[in-house]
Amino acid sequence: MGSSFETCLMLPRTGNEHHEQQSLYRRVLVESKKLWSIVGPAILVNLLNFTTIVITQAFAGHLGDFEFASISVSNSLIFGFNNGLMLGMSSALETLCGQAFGAKRYRMVGIYMQRAWITLFLCATLLLPVYIFATPILRWNGQSEELAVMAGNVSIWSIPLHYSYVFLCPLTRFLMSQSKNSIIAVISSFVFVFHIFITWLFVNEMELGLFGIVMTLNLSWWFNAICLFGYVVFGGCPLTWTGFSRDALYGIWDFIKFSISSGIMICLETWYSSSVLILFTSKLKNAQILVDALSICLSVNGWMFMISLAFFAATGVRVANELGAGNGNAAKFSIKVSVFTSMLVGLIMACSLMILRHKYGFIYTSSPQVLDIIYKLTWHVAISVLLNSAQLVFSGVAIGSGWQALVAYVNIGSYYLIGIPLSLILGYGLDLGVFGIWSGMIGGIFLQTSVLTYITVNCDWDKEALEAGKRVKKWSINKKNIELMQIS
């Protein structure tokens, strides 16, 4: 047997083996090209949007401490709701538009966007009391009277920004589902320059103060939405935009229910990652120093999160497109390429952080105490970055496949039934402080990622493709009119 095995090793490779390897190489190359055509522009857009907020806070900081605190508190309130619920609800379009586009039901892609506008308008109106009564809410939360009043004014001034999400989020998802990310990136770059100019104009030249800063955000976000809408309406999407239609009113309740499940899924992730750490750490001894260090670490983590978030969007689009086209195996292969690529990028970012752990803190502070905590927390930041690079891809798979309701339950169990209690035990019970709190949160993210990995690996993708086909047909047009939709 040993002789036969050695003989086999000495045999030259057959043409078929070479062809299979070349075919795999070409498949990876083609899929990577499709993936990066979405990821590349998405990274740019995410970083520009994140930088816009940073610039706004920087201008507010130059006005005074209370101005900076009020814009930060208000932004946390506003973007916590918008990123959690409004963006989450609009992510339903990644499933529906992506699958419809893959199935070549082009007209329905535009109909879905119009349904999303109606749904998000209703949602935004229901959320208005949070903005109108922000001052008493902040008082109840323990904020000082001066800060509560100032942040409450900022919230009221930001109502136009709140409604801009109604149109901007669906427009972005509509274009992403068609892999038109380059258009989004070009317009976002132009809006970014516009925002810098009007911020300088309103704050430095016209001296409009905090009110002027809020107005710059209102104008920039609406300018972005108008530019995207103009591109869509004036010939940018001739297949998927055929004008306003009454068909958008049919099946609106089913669309709302599906959007709510998407919103809950994203909300649970956003609130867990953005609120829990700061809330629990603020109750520890030496809270000011700890919160300062934690805020810097979360800021660095936020920049890198924007990159991983691009893979989340790209994976959702690719999976939805392939499932809509009935290509279960292609969707599965796309997931493999996305996971590998995102994990590789995450590993590079995590290693870079560890190499620079002695230095990056100096960008934000010169306090020896804060710098020491930042140095010790860098391990937690690096692990979080690496976990997010995998977790967000699998969340993208869920969006592309229409598993939002299932993942909402997974998030509740992993984050709120396991992660938060573990954070409290490690942080307070074992007296590990901020290190224990963050470790517990990492445990929740690891559990959620593990569950989603198990679901994805054991999924029958041919069956998922059939389910996507059924979903597309139920949301399509028959000879008389649109069929009322039922999400199966």
For tokens 């005074």, what's the residue? 64
Count the helix, strand and coil residues of the chain and give each as a percent rounded to the nearest 5: 85, 0, 15
How many CA atoms lie within 13 Å of 24's alpha carbon, on the beta-carbon side? 7
pLDDT at res. 82: 59
Of 200, 229, 261, the position where a domain reaches its end is 261
Residue 29, in any domain of the structure: no
Q: Same domain for 53 and 171?
A: yes
Residue 6, in any domain of the structure: no
Q: Same domain for 399 and 350?
A: yes
- Kindly tell me the sign of the dihedral angle through the C-alpha atoms of 207, 190, 218, 271: negative
Q: And the tokens for 379?
A: 């391990």
C-alpha span between 345 and 388 (Å, rounded): 11
Mean pLDDT by 10 residues, the chain (488 residues): 37 41 81 93 92 84 75 65 70 89 92 93 88 86 79 90 91 93 95 95 91 93 96 94 89 83 80 74 78 83 90 94 93 95 96 92 84 92 94 93 90 93 93 92 95 95 90 60 41
pLDDT at res. 45: 93
Residue 383, in any domain of the structure: yes
Q: Give the other-Cβ count within 10 Å of 93's Cβ.
A: 30
C-alpha span between 300 and 184 (Å, rounded): 25
pLDDT at res. 22: 55
Q: Same domain for 257 and 296?
A: no
Residue 157, in any domain of the structure: yes
For tokens 């190489």, what's the residue? 25
CA distances from 143 to 65, 74, 135, 211, 425 (A): 14, 12, 9, 21, 27
For tokens 């517990």, what's the residue? 440
Chain length of the chain: 488
Of 261, 285, 320, the position where a domain reaches its end is 261
Residue 26, in any domain of the structure: no
Residue 358, in any domain of the structure: yes
Of 207, 228, 261, the position where a domain reaches its end is 261
Amino acid 459 reads: C
Q: Same domain for 242 and 376?
A: no
CA distances from 431 to 31, 180, 290, 424 (A): 48, 50, 14, 9
Going by C-beta distance under 8 Å and a sequence separation of 6 or more, which residues neighbour residue 444? 272, 414, 415, 418, 419, 420, 422, 423
Q: Same domain for 218 and 311?
A: no
How many CA atoms lie within 13 Å of 301's alpha carbon, on the beta-carbon side? 24
Range of the domain at 465: 275-477
For tokens 């706004």, what's the residue? 56
Q: Same domain for 284 and 195?
A: no
R_g (Cα) of the chain, nearest Å = 24
Going by C-beta distance under 8 Å and a sequence separation of 6 or more, which residues neighbour residue 245? 110, 111, 114
Which residues, listed in sequence order, are joined to residue 482 by a DSSP beta bridge? Answer: 477
- Kindly tell me the sign of the dihedral angle through the C-alpha atoms of 40, 43, 49, 54: negative
Q: Same domain for 45 and 187?
A: yes
Q: Same domain for 252 and 298?
A: no
C-alpha span between 338 and 340 (Å, rounded): 6
Residue 200 near residue 175, CB atoms below 8 Å: no
Q: Same domain for 287 and 171?
A: no
Residue 415, in any domain of the structure: yes
CA distances from 8 to 13, 16, 17, 19, 186 (A): 10, 16, 14, 19, 56
Q: Same domain for 292 and 179?
A: no
Q: Same domain for 256 and 344?
A: no
Per-position b or e across 154-176, b if 16+ CB within 10 A of its CB: bbebbbebbbbbbbbbbbbbbbb
C-alpha span between 420 and 115 (Å, rounded): 36
C-alpha span between 165 and 477 (Å, rounded): 28
Q: Same domain for 133 and 244?
A: yes
Instruction: Please report, for the chain, how many H helices and E strands are present, in that order.
Output: 20, 0
How many CA atoms lie within 13 Å of 268's alpha carbon, on the beta-carbon side? 25
272 backbone dihedrals φ, ψ, rounded to 5° = -65, -45
Which residues, listed in sequence order, are joined to residue 477 by a DSSP beta bridge? Answer: 482
C-alpha span between 176 and 188 (Å, rounded): 14
The total number of structural domains that make up the chain: 2
Residue 13, in any domain of the structure: no
